[in-house]
Amino acid sequence: NAGVTQTPKFQVLKTGQSMTLQCAQDMNHEYMSWYRQDPGMGLRLIHYSVGAGITDQGEVPNGYNVSRSTTEDFPLRLLSAAPSQTSVYFCASSPLAGGPDTQYFGPGTRLTVL
């Protein structure tokens, strides 16, 4: 099993550009989520999904869209990139057991917005 994979590993954008961060898992997990981590900080939840076709907002959803058309994939779209979105983005997946269970994290995407 590859676990949770994220692409790209690094990305530089100009203000106003849009892009999609890819996340895929091969563990048949119902729960998937996106976090951002700013330097020296903890993780903040952007969006999450409890199954295909179901998504919801986390703590900091503004400026981001998600969709979950399959169990395996959970892409994160930046609609119009801003310098404040410079961060490291982590995708995670887990089984659901009355709530999010043990999270398996991807390696992260380091995004810089100029």
Partner 1 sequence: SQQGEEDPQALSIQEGENATMNCSYKTSINNLQWYRQNSGRGLVHLILIRSNEREKHSGRLRVTLDTSKKSSSLLITASRAADTASYFCATDHNTDKLIFGTGTRLQVFP
Contacts with partner 1, residue ranges (CB under 8 A): 31, 33, 35, 41-45, 48, 50, 56, 58-59, 90, 92, 98-108
- Between 17 and 95, name the residue whose CB sits nearer to partner 1: 95
Cβ of residue 41: shortest distance to partner 1, in angstroms?
Answer: 7
Could you identify the residue written with the tokens 């729960």? 31
β-strands 10-13, 109-113 pairing: parallel
Cβ of residue 43: shortest distance to partner 1, in angstroms?
Answer: 4
Cβ of residue 61: shortest distance to partner 1, in angstroms?
Answer: 11
- Between 9 and 16, name the residue whose CB sits nearer to partner 1: 9
Helix %, strand %, coil % for the chain, to 5?
A: 5, 50, 45
CA distance 64 to 81: 9
- Between 6 and 85, name the residue whose CB sits nearer to partner 1: 6
Decide if 53 contacts 69 (C-beta within 8 A): yes
- Between 2 and 14, name the residue whose CB sits nearer to partner 1: 2
Cβ of residue 51: shortest distance to partner 1, in angstroms?
Answer: 10
Nearest partner of 88 among 25, 6, 27, 24, judged by Cα: 6
CA distance 91 to 48: 10
